[in-house]
A and B are shown apart, each in its own frame.
Chain A
Amino acid sequence: MNEIIARWVKERTFHHRQFSDLKRLVELKQQRRLKISLCFPTLNEEKTIGKSIVVMKSELMDRYPLVDEIAVVDSGSTDKTRIIAEKFGAITFAAADCLSATGDYKGKGENLWKALYLLNGDIIVYVDADISNIHHRFVYGLIGPLLEQEEIKFVKAFYNRPFQTPDGVIPAGGGRVTEILIRPLFSQFFPELIGIVQPLSGEYAGYREVFEQIPFPIGYGVETGMLIDIFQKWGLNAMAQTNLDLRVHRNQSVAALGRMAFGILQTFWDRLRCYHGVDHVKLDSFILRQMQLKDEELKIVESEIQEHERPPIMTIEDYRKKFHS
């Protein structure tokens, strides 16, 4: 197993610098007659969305026509996220207004799923909108492997996260949820995926033909579910990862990470049922209970977290009409 992982890491791990020749990437895109769409899923991101749109539009549309459209798919922001994004040249959509016959859920995964219907690209790039040091490498670093190696169908980002330990500094690793939850679970059930440095990173790109055939958990589990599903359907060789260097974003509290882990676990149990035939895991409750010390008294704080899941969008008739008729 270690040999398989090591070979994949060696052959499928890139650095964004390998793809900084944007002129060449544009040529490859044009040779292959591909369209590329960039999607920012948003909810109240007015502090960072302006810079994100400006940098991507100026660098990857105005200077080098690598990206054909930039879109914001919004979960109902109450701030100026959509106004700012539109002002600087993005197309904006309210997720709730799209495919409304199929229902409406709140969550990042919902926006990513609906983006497949709303955007026109053959390659879709998803980038979180809360990155304060946004740079166009976050996009071309993900597109590069897809354009240069046709067998690669999906590329995941990872970042330098120097981590201080008693034995010194570990140059790169996952976040807390990755190291405490995801990596132990992958080690036990999907060990081939261990080489993915940051399975929960919010930036990834892939071909429409891949994304349209997998289900999308609408909440915390979207990244985990996506990795497992793509691995199962297309194999490790169709996946790659790119080091995008430093990413600066909001840090989350331990309580928030607990809620994230609770959601991810639901997606994970579902994938165990699907791919490992484990059918005896039955969830009694979708209530997460966390202990909180307030006014010297321990209180139970309850959060209801239920990971709804969107089916592969290919199963939606409106989508098939738009893209496959």
Chain B
Amino acid sequence: MTGAAMQDFNSYCPSFDGETGRQLEIIRGCRELLLGNLALLAEAAAPTFDEKARAEFMMERFSEAAGVDPQTDLLHNAIGILRNENSTRNVLLTTHLDNAFDADTNPAISITEDQVFGAGVADDNLSVAVLLTLPEILNRLDIKLNYNLIMVAAARFHHRGDYEGIRTFVRGFPPAKIDAAVNINGLTLGNINYFTLSRIRCDIKCALLDSERVGNVIRMAGGSAVLTLNELMDNLYRIPLPRKPRTLLNIGMISGGERYSTISQEAELKLEALSEDNGVMDRLIDEIRNICIDVGARHNVRVTPEFFGRHTVASLSSGHPLVKIAVDTLQRLGIEPKVEYTNSQMAVTLAEGIPSVNLGLTTGSGGPNSHSHIDIAPLGLGLLQLVTILQAIDKNGAFRP
């Protein structure tokens, strides 16, 4: 497939000769099963920290699938194991179970001729639906993997969940080790990720000191949590960041104030910083902490930073067999691989020393609203990519030594 053709998956349904063509046709024949799973799991809301209903749906589905051993845990990770009794090797296939929006968001999806619309459909309900459908796809393809495939839809990924589900699973998986991991995302087909950046997240709260909270508006005119927050943002964006190693600080969310007519008592910002270097990130964390102390003191406001979600730089080399398998597979299917960093769940498995890649499944656009969508046509290729990589993964030394 040419680069130009890649721009428009909808109008491009490639055909292949031989075994690849046969597999693609069988996979396309599973379209309704996949979309049916996607529609039904979307109805089971799964805001972060409240994934129980969706995990139960997953367990029910896994228990109905031939050869799948369903399991769950206290965090409501949804786990389905396709065992190969003759192997002690374990490959992890992961995505996250939760959505970054609350249960009040309309979960219903809408299926048009070429696309599926709905909050969370692209990130990453589609991937969860793929876990549910994969056993049947492998069955129809008559593929028996030479290892135990451990499918995990992990809870507590978003927000303050901070990857707790996958972290808990990986660290607690007894007794055998995990030999390799593939993480899947709804978006974007063609992406191959095998390195992660150093990352930190931080919530900074500004709150008027108790002594400043009494009195009328005029007397309080000097202090304001919102004004302090503004000063804080100015200072944060004045931190000099190196272009090499590349480093980024992003204030993603702010909130604060209570009414038009009152001096704001509390305000908050949420930021994320990324860097190619762990040392740079350490220094940046110190700098943020110092700014909070300084701005708080000057405004007589309590400024409290809370750091969480620290990831360290981790990667495979581009010559690692797992990366080569993924790149070769995409190229054979006519898809130009696009290599980027990711902070998907792969950050956890890589940090644990497990060879890991992250793959996209189709095209579309993400987001927690009804405009979020996935394109249906590329899904066949996306799934063929996944199946091909899973078949090849136990060969060529892709496993952890």
Among A36-44, A49-57, A112-120, the stretch in contact with B? A49-57
* A320 neighbours in B (Cβ, 8 Å): none
* Shortest beta-carbon distance from A231 to chain B in Å: 35
> Which one of A84-92, A221-229, A276-284 is at the interface?
A84-92
Q: Which of B29-37, B225-233, B303-311, B347-355 is the contact stretch?
A: B29-37
Is B111's CB under 8 angstroms from A50's CB? yes
Binary CB contact string for chain A from 22 to 52 against chain B (1 if under 8 A, 0 otherwise) = 0000000000000000000000001110110
User: A48's closest neighbor in chain B, by CB?
Assistant: B110
Query: Among the interface residues B36, B37, B110, B112, which one has the most CB atoms of the partner chain A within 10 A?
Result: B36
Assign chain A's interface to a size class. 20 to 34
Q: Which residue of B lies closest to A58 (CB)?
A: B36
**A54-B39, A133-B43, A135-B40 known; A62 and B32 CB under 8 Å?**
yes
Interface string of B61-78 (1 = CB under 8 A from A): 000100000000000000
A112 to B: closest C-beta gap in Å: 24
Known: A55-B40, A87-B113, A133-B43. A63 touches B33 (CB 8 A): yes
Question: Which of A50, A58, A134, A248 has a CB less than 8 Å from the CB of B33?
Answer: A58
Complex formed: what's the CA distance from A135 to B37 in Å?
Answer: 11
Q: B109 and A51: CB pair below 8 A?
A: yes
Q: Report Cα–Cα, A212/B32, bound state, in Å.
A: 32
CB pair A55–B39 under 8 Å, yes or no, is yes
Tell me which residues from 48 to 90 in chain A have a Cβ below 8 Å from any Cβ of chain B: 48, 50-51, 53-55, 57-59, 62-63, 80, 83-84, 87-89
Please tell me if B141 contacts chain A, counting CB pairs below 8 Å: no
A-contact bits for B28-54, CB 8 A (1 contact / 0 none): 000111011101100100000000000
The verdict on B6 contacting chain A, using a C-beta distance below 8 Å, is: no
- Interface residue from B37, B110, B113 paired with A51 (Cβ < 8 Å): B110
Residues from chain A with Cβ under 8 Å of B40 in the complex: 55, 59, 135
Q: Does A303 contact B (CB under 8 A)?
A: no
A315 at interface by CB-CB < 8 Å: no
CB of A132 closer than 8 Å to a CB of B: yes
* Residue numbers in B under 8 Å from A134 (CB-CB): 39
CA distance A55 to B109 in the complex (A): 11
Asked whether B108 is an interface residue with its Cβ less than 8 Å from the other chain, the reply is yes
Contact A80 B111 (CB under 8 A): no
Q: How far is the CB of A222 from chain B (nearest CB, A)?
A: 27
Interface of A with B (CB < 8 Å)?
A: 46-48, 50-51, 53-55, 57-59, 62-63, 80, 83-84, 87-89, 132-135, 248
Given contacts A51-B110, A54-B32, A54-B36, 15 further A-B contacts (CB under 8 A): A46-B112, A50-B112, A51-B109, A55-B39, A57-B32, A58-B35, A62-B32, A62-B33, A63-B36, A80-B113, A88-B35, A133-B108, A134-B39, A135-B40, A135-B43
